[in-house]
Amino acid sequence: MTFEEKYAVIGTQDPQYEGCFITAVKTTGIFCRPSCRARKPKAENVEFMATTQDALRGGYRPCKVCKPMEPLDATPPYIQSIINELHADPYLRLKDQDLRDRDIEPSQIRRWFQKHHNMTFHAYQRMIRLNRAYRDIKEGKSITETAYENGYDSLSGFQSGYQSIFGDAPSQTDKAVIHLKRFSTVLGPMYAAATDEGVCLVEFTDRRMLETEFKDLRKRLNAVILPGEHPLLDQVEQQLQEYFAGERMDFDIPLHAPGTDFQQSVWELLQQIPYGQTKSYKQQAIDIGNVKAIRAVATANGMNRIAIIIPCHRVLGSDGSLTGYAGGLERKRWLLDHERQHSHGVRQGELGL
């Protein structure tokens, strides 16, 4: 990006540029993330840097408003602690007074869950219990045993809550569960979703079509989406953090990506594009045996729900230009630059340079 392009971005509070550059303000001596909500400085007082480390080395200190040394929209430690407790103890039900006893203002935690999970804190607690109850029933436990082991006071209360989410009584439901987790990255927060078969979604939380993707997954898999723990979600988060740190080039996570035969053939080809390299949509079309299918290939790339792991960011226009990326073109630029930098370092090491 040019200086003018970067300067146009600051002040818009657009999260898609997170991690792409740092704004350093000469008159105040502070540095900010691109989406900082503080007043926009004059252009002559600004210099742009690649990383927070560059800004620190330049003598700047981090902004107290946007906190650029912390991951964007990271889960606050006190909320993460509560989430961990809820996952560990099925009998734990935190009411407003329980939060006040912990010196936590209930309205504050309600706003956080509404913003980042699109549900209230109390709804989040119910969803966790129902996720765990579903797994218990699938593993052969009786409905009565499941209800009381997951903190319900009555069998009727459990059956009513279960039916409100799954649409059927516990003894009759044929729906699957898609487990959902939110985590922070250097490019902004992401969602990961998984069934027992594999990972079915990895997206930035500001993806415009996210609700449409959730709806499509629920329909295709005859499933409900619930927050909860799953080994595959922990694996996704760990491997993506290794990727962003430049420590991982390949992923070995099972995927569950429902789609048409054509879409799946395109997604399989995407996974064959090596780390640090790119292809054009035309090259993709040739690879599937239909050079006229460029537009269809581009559409299938856009329908990919598993960002980075199925690397649709490695596809460019025929002239090498950055085109269409659901996470934003600047994130796409960052990902390609990141891969080129680290793949170059590996090749040098292999050559003994």
Q: Which residues, including other chains, have CB under 8 Å from residue 180's CB and lie 6 or more apart?
A: 191, 192, 193, 225, 226, 227, 228, 233
Under CATH, to which class is 3-62 assigned? alpha beta
pLDDT at 345 (0 to 100): 54
What pTM, to 2 d.p., does this model score?
Answer: 0.75
CATH number assigned to the domain covering 258-351: 1.10.10.10
The region that residue 103 occupies, defined by phi over 0 for left and psi between -120 and 50 for alpha, beta otherwise, is left
Query: Which residues of the chain fall short of a pLDDT of 50?
Result: 346-353
Q: Is 20 a catalytic residue?
A: no
Q: What is the pLDDT of residues 172-184, one digit of tens each?
A: 777 888 999 988 8
pLDDT at 138 (0 to 100): 81
User: What is the C-alpha to C-alpha distance for residues 340 and 133, in angstroms, rounded to an integer?
Assistant: 46
CATH of 71-174, one of 1.10.10.60, 3.40.50.10790, 3.40.630.40, 3.50.50.60: 1.10.10.60
User: What is the C-alpha to C-alpha distance for residues 43 and 51, in angstroms, rounded to an integer?
Assistant: 19
Q: Tell me the CA distances in angstroms from 341 to 245, 248, 319, 334, 336, one per residue in order.
A: 12, 13, 22, 10, 9
User: What is the C-alpha to C-alpha distance for residues 85 and 226, in angstroms, rounded to an integer?
Assistant: 17
pLDDT at 348 (0 to 100): 42
Q: What is the pLDDT of residues 89-98, one digit of tens each?
A: 877 888 999 9
Q: Give me 38's structure tokens.
A: 């503080």
Domain with CATH 3.40.10.10 in the chain: 3-62
pLDDT at 344 (0 to 100): 65
Q: Are strands 190-194 and 176-183 parallel, antiparallel or unpaired?
A: antiparallel
